[in-house]
């Protein structure tokens, strides 16, 4: 395969709650790299957000992404569980299925960095305590991978 392009990544994208993005000026996209952002980054790019930080531990894929996404975006090689980069309108955690429970156990952490919305990859409706000042907005179907993958969406009240 030749160089990865945004057109290729977009062609394979899975659904994202784009309605959130019209209310956002900044985004923190955690766990961003495995598919070069087909689950999240391409939607945020298409919505025109310029103030975006994308975090992953895969330095090779981050290098590819740096070359194809807008110059205003920051790509950070870091452990997303402990990364702290200020606040953003949207904080998204696109974890692998075996990390979903861990991510759901950190709602206080994600909501603490988000001004408006938090999105987390889940495989069933979560039964978790939602932080004070936040509420469940939606459970959005993404794909049938492993029986059904969804975005769990929280919004600030």
Ligand X SMILES: C[S@@+](CC[C@H](N)C(=O)[O-])C[C@H]1O[C@@H](n2cnc3c(N)ncnc32)[C@H](O)[C@@H]1O
Residues in touch with ligand X (CB under 6 A): 31-40, 55-58, 79-81, 94-96
Q: Work out how close the CB of 157 gets to ligand X at its nearest, in angstroms, rounded to a whole number.
A: 27
Cβ distance to ligand X smaller for residue 5 or 135: 5
For ligand X, give the closer residue by CB, 25 or 58. Answer: 58
Kindly tell me which of 26 and 39 has the beta carbon lying closer to ligand X: 39
User: Of the two residues 12 and 135, which places its CB atom closer to ligand X in the complex?
Assistant: 12
**Shortest Cβ 76–ligand X spacing (Å):** 9
**CB 156 → ligand X: shortest distance, Å?**
23
**Residue 153 Cβ, how far from ligand X at the closest point, in Å?**
15
Instruction: Annotate the chain with DSSP letters as a single string.
Output: -----HHHHHHT-----GGGGGG-SEEEEES--TTTTTTTHHHHHHTT--EEEEEES-HHHHHHHHHHS-TT-EEEES-TTT-----EEEEEE---GGGHHHHHTTHHHHHHHEEEEEEEEESS----PPPTTEEEEEEEEEE-GGG-EEEEEEEE-
């Amino acid at each position: 395969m030749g160089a990865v392009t945004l057109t290729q990544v977009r062609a394979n994208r899975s659904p994202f709650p784009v309605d959130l993005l019209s209310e956002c000026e900044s985004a923190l996209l955690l766990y961003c790299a495995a598919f070069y952002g087909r689950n999240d980054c391409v939607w945020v790019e298409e919505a025109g957000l310029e103030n975006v930080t994308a975090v992953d531990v895969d330095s090779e894929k981050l290098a590819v992404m740096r070359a194809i996404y807008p110059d205003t975006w920051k790509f950070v090689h870091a452990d997303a569980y402990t990364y702290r980069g200020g606040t953003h309108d949207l904080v998204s955690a696109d974890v692998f299925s075996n990390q979903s429970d861990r991510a759901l156990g950190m709602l206080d952490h994600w909501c603490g960095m988000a001004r408006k919305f938090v999105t987390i990859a889940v495989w069933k409706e979560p039964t978790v305590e939602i932080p004070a000042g936040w509420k469940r907005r939606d459970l959005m179907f993404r794909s049938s991978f492993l029986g059904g993958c969804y975005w769990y969406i929280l919004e600030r009240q």
